[in-house]
Amino acid sequence: MKSDKTSFLTLHLPQGKKIFFLSDFHLGAPDYTHSREREAKVTAWIDAHKHEMHSLFLLGDIFDYWFEYRYVVQKGFVRFMAKIAELTDSGIPVHFFGGNHDTWNKHYFQQELGMKVYRGNMELNVDDARFLIGHGDGLGANEIGYKWMKALFEAKTSRVLYASLHPYWGSRLAKAMSRHSRKAGSASGEEHYRREHWKNQNLLTFTQQVLQQKHIDFFIFAHRHWPVLARLDGTQVQVVPECQVALEHGKAAEKRDSFYLNTGDWLHYCSYASFDGDTLRLEGESVQNSF
């Protein structure tokens, strides 16, 4: 069972290996055809990078909808799941963070796919580098209504009541809610930029709160569907145009710069982050690193 508490993990990264961070595949949306095309891109990406992969962090909303019933598994995503099982069977750790679309999971991902499952954030130490990672929803001072809704959805009573629905009706209800949410929040161009820019401000507020208590080299979150890599300088944010930053080895941790990275999504950008022990990179097919 997942825990809401912050998790802690320490890794040693061998030379020639990388850690990868991906999120927001939203498999299942908006329909079967588009989801299968996206799934094929993800599985091809895994094949292309598994030779250099030390570990894989999936930062939520991998599925557009997921609910773990006791005896029923929903249709679809078998190619992706098979690829994850292939990674874990070969000894590559896969860490799954529940997002707001796929938080209702319990044991299936661990037992069948070998993933390690988390709720909330993780403090990740990779040799000399300090990370704080997670899906990122509900962080910061705003979105009070969303936080209440999130607490309601994650309550044990809500899970029990939803499980009492027949899977046919439960899946139809969840998919209808997802379509409605996506339609209400749909935007393109300048409006899409404005909305995601505002949402990123919540995460930036959260990073400043954390930095008042401890030093973090790299904050990596998802959820916002807008890939960006930026230097945190007090209340100022400076986008890193080259989409990569090197860890300042040799400096005391408290004197190093801090950076914020959002992994974006695979609906628009096919974006992801990688870390090789020295350099954090924001990569993808169509990354627009702006804030």
d(CA 227, CA 258): 17
* 129: nearest Cα among 17, 234, 264, 256: 256
pLDDT at 141 over 90: no
- pLDDT bin (cut points 50, 70, 90) of residue 109 is very high
Task: Give the residue with greater pLDDT, 255 vs 289.
Answer: 255
Beta bridge partners of 67: 104
- pLDDT bin (cut points 50, 70, 90) of residue 1 is very low
Task: Work out the mean pLDDT of the chain and round it to a whole number.
Answer: 85
d(CA 288, CA 291): 9
Query: Model-level pTM?
Result: 0.88
Handedness of CA 166, 150, 9, 131 (dihedral sign): positive
* 225: nearest Cα among 203, 257, 241, 258: 203
pLDDT at residue 24, as a whole number: 96
H helices of the chain, in order, are 32-49, 78-89, 108-113, 144-154, 156-163, 167-185, 189-211
List pLDDT tens digits, range 143-178.
665 666 666 667 677 766 767 777 777 777 767 766
Average pLDDT of 219-229? Answer: 92
List pLDDT tens digits, range 231-255.
998 767 889 989 999 999 889 888 8
